[in-house]
Structure 1
Amino acid sequence: MKKQIIALSIILSAMTINAQKPLARAEVFATVDQAVGNIAFTNEGDLVYSHHPFFAPEIRVVKFDKETNTTTPFPNLEWNTPRDTDDNYLSNVLGIRNDENGIIWMLDMAQRNDVTPKIVGWNTKTDKLERIYYLPKSAVPAISQPNDMVVDTKHGYFIIADEGIGNGGDGSKAAFIIVDMKTGKTRRVLEGTRTTKPENTPTVINGKHLAVNGKDLLIGNDGITADANFEYVYYGPLNGTKIYRVKTLDLVDETLTEAELDQKIETYSEKPNNGGMSIDKEGNLYLTALETKSVAVVLAKDRNVHTMIKDDNLVWPDGVSYNHTDGYMYVSAAQVNHGAVFNDGKDKSTKPFYIFRFKPIEEGVSFR
């Protein structure tokens, strides 16, 4: 009975989001030939984004030239070229963020190559490598899939959302990975706990379940963002009905036990099954609503879910990020559900792939 009530609640929530009039207009910013994952920006506002790793792209990360509608490998071709002599290259990147110092931080999940997962920081001001943070097996076990992160330059931490679906993982061991920017010390916290593991809320798009070999794919800790002052981290499993928040200083506090930390987590709001997450300076949360070709927003004033934008070409909206130079939120349409693994071995994705943008309700948070 409880499962039926949950399922009905999810259906009604999706119906409500579908029925709402969008609060903003979706504008096509660009069309490209490969699936776009997550988007970051240089200080000048140029887009730097990951090609979605689900489609095993040859070039992992690119910089986009709006004038010519073309891309170039970022930071260069060498960093996008796997080799056996060293591991100073990008293997498998989805999560990508920029900070106020002009550094683009790229979260390399590895997996495609026999290299250690890492965070690579490239300084766009000097056009040089800033630093590499390696992620050890103690923090990134085989089932890990480090998906997205907060770059907290105020307190000095990377806070990574790990979906827990790597190498056959079923999401039940999803977690956070905390990296100290000064020392490089890396910890795994809240693995398989109530707020990081997925709920039994399958992803259903156009009536079709997102499944592998007939089994629903349930994804853990996924969307993540932090407010403008890095006071709170907001997060939730992709497959789940709740957004949670926790004070950043509690999440990175090594003296807290898992049970003590869990007690400090607040259930913030309801949500649809979502991928990326962003926030504006008034605390409105923007969520890519995978099942409804839309971006939802949880308004700070009432913590209710509303439709922000919607478009028929917004197929599997993935990352959503704010560009401080033009005041727009940018969102990718990755078509992940059209990939071969979900369609009996046939890749049903079609060109072009879209990058949309829209005006947020309030000024967005650029660096988080």
Structure 2
Amino acid sequence: MSSTPRTGRRTALLGTAASLVALRTAQAQPQPSQAQAPASPPASPQPAAPGAAPAAGLERVAAFEGQVTGVAVSKDGRMFVCFPRWEKDVEISVAEVGRDGSLKPYPDAEWNAYRNAAPRDLANHLICVQSVTVDPQGFLWILDPAAPGNEFNLPGGVKMLKVDLGSNKVVQTIAFDSSTAPQGAYLNDVRVTPDGRWAFITDSGQRGAIVVVDLSTGKARRVLDGAGPTQPEPDVIVKADGRELRRTDGRPTLFAADGIALDAEGKYLYWQALTGRTLYRIATASLIDEGIAPTRLASSVEKIGTTCVADGYWMDKAGNLYITSPEDDSLKVRRPDGRMDTLVQDKRLRWPDSLAEGPDGAIYVTTSQIQDMARYHEKGATPQQAYALWRVQPAR
């Protein structure tokens, strides 16, 4: 998800070590009430909303004290999650999740050693990781917008890492400068083409865009920058728990291009603004063609249909588009023919955030409880339950 960076002074919480989230590493062997609860047994189910699909297929994999967003699953079933520094500091930015729900800093402890109270070497540490994904070739990609507190991205810290899961080593670092990630940008989610040549990133910040990255050279450029399809839709008001989601000063939530997906062949890129309900797509051949003028590129964007207020996207090989729906605690699926179904709806899916697919086709989803963040409550953060990673059986 994006929690879009806006102007304003960064909260003092970001400068104090006292605000560290109590995430524990696997070596710490935490009790269930600490960093994460065991994957089994899962949390007791809560009743779904009237008319909701049965939640019997929803399984909790792990639970965390820290606010989780991104999730990635490898071809052999290894699971990875990330914890952005949105309202508190964290001890782990990216973690591999053990089968028992334990956390191990990934790719190693040093990459995770950054702290708000003592900033260090922005280029070689994880600052505020928003998303992780495993590409079709089996590499893990870590996207770091480097904007702790969702306020200002730190120059020299905005980057994307390619990790070899065989050696657990970073094998490529792509840095984004101000031409690609200007102040106010928030690089949100990423997908990589099947041939490993191109990456596409949504910018959900103050001026939405798509970032196109040539992975062979590391060159990146912004496209559809400020164009209508990447912007919040003015007639959409994001709601959660049945009420408008507004900051304590009354500002509405304005999230630009957010959820992103590629088809199995890498021919089309799909995306949606979180503050919006319109699904767009564009041919990737157009995106990578630097000779296409901005106006012509914008005119080649297709409106595919209307969905819901959505955060995360994932498209499987059959062309089913999985869509998280935070307004009604559900995970939906859009079929290739345009039909929309609710795959699972459950109160435990409190702001379903990011998606990944396991080797068996199961869908993994994180719950980040965005609506419980302090910025939306006069009396501060009000988390309702543990942040969690869930597994759902795929659409049939």
In the superposition, the TM-score normalised over structure 2's length comes to 0.80
Deviations 1:180-230 (A, max 9, x none): 111111111101111100012111112322212201011000000001110
Taking a change above 3 Å as real, the CA distance of residues 85 and 252 of structure 1, as seen in their structure-2 partners, is closer
Task: Give, as a single letter, the amino acid of the residue that structure 2 aligns with 1:137.
Answer: S
CA contact (8 A) 2:232 2:256 kept: yes
Is 1:33 matched with 2:74? no
Taking a change above 3 Å as real, the CA distance of residues 211 and 231 of structure 1, as seen in their structure-2 partners, is same
**1:321-336 matches, cutoff 5 A:** 321-324=356-359, 326-336=360-370
- The Cα shift of 1:253 comes to 1.2
CA contact (8 A) 2:329 2:352 kept: yes
| 133-142 or 153-162, larger mean C-alpha shift | 153-162
Per the alignment, residue 8 of structure 1 pairs with: none
Q: Distance in 1 between matches of 2:317 and 2:136?
A: 16
**1:199-238 matches, cutoff 5 A:** 199-200=233-234, 201-212=236-247, 213-238=249-274
Task: Give, as a single letter, the amino acid of the residue that structure 1 aligns with 2:210.
Answer: F
Tell me the SS of whatever aligns to 1:182.
coil
The one of 313, 318, 336 aligned to 2:353? 318
Q: Distance in 2 between matches of 1:32 and 1:153?
A: 32
Is 1:195 matched with 2:229? yes
Per the alignment, residue 94 of structure 1 pairs with: 130
CA contact (8 A) 1:174 1:221 kept: yes
The one of 148, 161, 171 aligned to 1:130? 171
**1:209-358 matches, cutoff 5 A:** 209-212=244-247, 213-301=249-337, 303-324=338-359, 326-358=360-392
Q: Distance in 2 between matches of 1:86 and 1:105?
A: 18
- The Cα shift of 1:21 comes to 3.4
- The Cα shift of 1:338 comes to 0.2
CA contact (8 A) 1:22 1:307 kept: no
CA contact (8 A) 2:135 2:196 kept: no
Residue-pair matches, total? 336
The one of 146, 159, 179 aligned to 1:118? 159
CA contact (8 A) 2:191 2:260 kept: yes
In the superposition, the TM-score normalised over structure 1's length comes to 0.86
Task: Give, as a single letter, the amino acid of the residue that structure 1 aligns with 2:184.
Answer: I
Is 1:49 matched with 2:84? no
- The Cα shift of 1:116 comes to 2.8
The one of 174, 177, 190 aligned to 1:149? 190
Q: Distance in 2 between matches of 1:60 and 1:118?
A: 14
CA contact (8 A) 1:283 1:299 kept: yes
Tell me the SS of whatever aligns to 2:381.
coil
Per the alignment, residue 183 of structure 1 pairs with: 217
Tell me the SS of whatever aligns to 1:125.
coil
Structure 2 unpaired stretches of 5+? 1-48, 149-153
- The Cα shift of 1:155 comes to 6.3
CA contact (8 A) 1:18 1:292 kept: no
State the percentage of identical aligned residues. 28
Taking a change above 3 Å as real, the CA distance of residues 246 and 23 of structure 1, as seen in their structure-2 partners, is farther
Taking a change above 3 Å as real, the CA distance of residues 86 and 35 of structure 1, as seen in their structure-2 partners, is closer
- The Cα shift of 1:29 comes to 2.3
Q: Distance in 2 between matches of 1:24 and 1:281?
A: 24
Deviations 1:220-275 (A, max 9, x none): 00000001110111101011121011111111211111111122111111111110
Is 1:159 matched with 2:200? yes
Task: Give, as a single letter, the amino acid of the residue that structure 1 aligns with 2:91.
Answer: E
Give the number of the structure whose residues are more often strand, by fraction: 1
Deviations 1:132-151 (A, max 9, x none): 00011001110100000111
Q: Distance in 2 between matches of 1:85 and 1:117?
A: 12
CA contact (8 A) 1:233 1:245 kept: yes
Q: Distance in 1 between matches of 2:251 and 2:184?
A: 17
Per the alignment, residue 10 of structure 1 pairs with: none
Q: Distance in 2 between matches of 1:174 and 1:85?
A: 28
CA contact (8 A) 1:41 1:47 kept: yes
Task: Give, as a single letter, the amino acid of the residue that structure 1 aligns with 2:395.
Answer: I
Q: CA RMSD in A?
A: 1.9
